[in-house]
Amino acid sequence: MAPFELSYTIVDAFTGHVFAGNPAAVIVLPKDHTLPDATLQLIAREFNLSETAFLSPTDESDVFGLRWFTPALEVPLCGHATLASAHVLLTTVAAESKRIVFKTRWSGELIASRADNGKIELEFPAGVCEPESDELKTKAGETLKKALALDVAPVIHFVGGAPGPSFQGYLLIHVDDSIDLANLKVDSSILTAELNPPYWLQILTNTPQGEHHFVSRVFATGSGVPEDPVTGSAHCMLATYWTQKLGISGELRARQVSQRGGNVDVEWVRESERVKIRGEAVVAAKGILLVPL
């Protein structure tokens, strides 16, 4: 039997040029597809990117089902692959639409729209950070001492998570501004060994001097992603944390300072308990995947 052909697009998200930002594979599935979850997971493993997004058309031209898979597992929320998916749809099958609705399994309805400045704007659930115990704060400092190969544990200003299924297992760690996150070599396996379970995704953040309100790096070795280049879902927590910490209302400019790097604009809309995430995206590759039946 001939293999099943699936078109795919690789999109670099949160950047205006290729080979930067965070790449995601985007696949628009046939409306009546019968591919099992195990096959979707194998496809994600084949691409071996932080995320592969699978879109399922509905009877409405601007409404799509959306699921995200890392090389190892399905996740409840992913920002960069949603941005990549919106970019693909808004430049192809939904080019006439101004707004896309994504229906997801665990994170409800997500909205993508064209922003006035040419970027794509996503509306995601807000991850309002709550502090964890002093014991965990101390443990995080000792873990970072080992993971960053420091002589002493760094000063930790905050350690916390956020309620809700979208952010289960996320841990935000605010390290002192004396730590240069952009140039640190991080052994993410130590973060996983010491903090997972239950925290399978670790967010390091601070506010160095510069044009951005805050910077971050994100590690998720437990999900098959040692370091995620740019993490939209983490910015749902970063947006609420830094909005309160800095006392600034409106848009904050952020940068994830991984090796690839990416720019993320965020705004916490408290009234609707949503975070608006804005960024650019660019197509890096297109092709056909041959899936055996």
Q: CA-to-CA distance for 225 and 118, rounded, in angstroms?
A: 30
Long-range CB pairs of 93-96, under 8 A, 24+ apart, other chains included: 93/28, 93/57, 93/61, 94/61, 94/62
Which residue in the list 51, 121, 132, 227 is annotated as catalytic?
A: 51
Closest CA to 144 of 217, 60, 234: 217
The DSSP letter of residue 50 is S
Bridge partners of residue 220, in order along the sequence: 225
CB 173 within 8 A of CB 181: no
If phi > 0 it is left, if psi is from -120 to 50 it is alpha, else beta; for residue 14 that is left
Residue 179 has a CB neighbour count (10 Å cut-off) of 18
**φ, ψ at 114 (rounded to 5°):** -80, 125
The sign of the CA dihedral 207, 259, 253, 139 is negative
Q: Is 194 a catalytic residue?
A: no
**Which residues are catalytic, by number?**
51
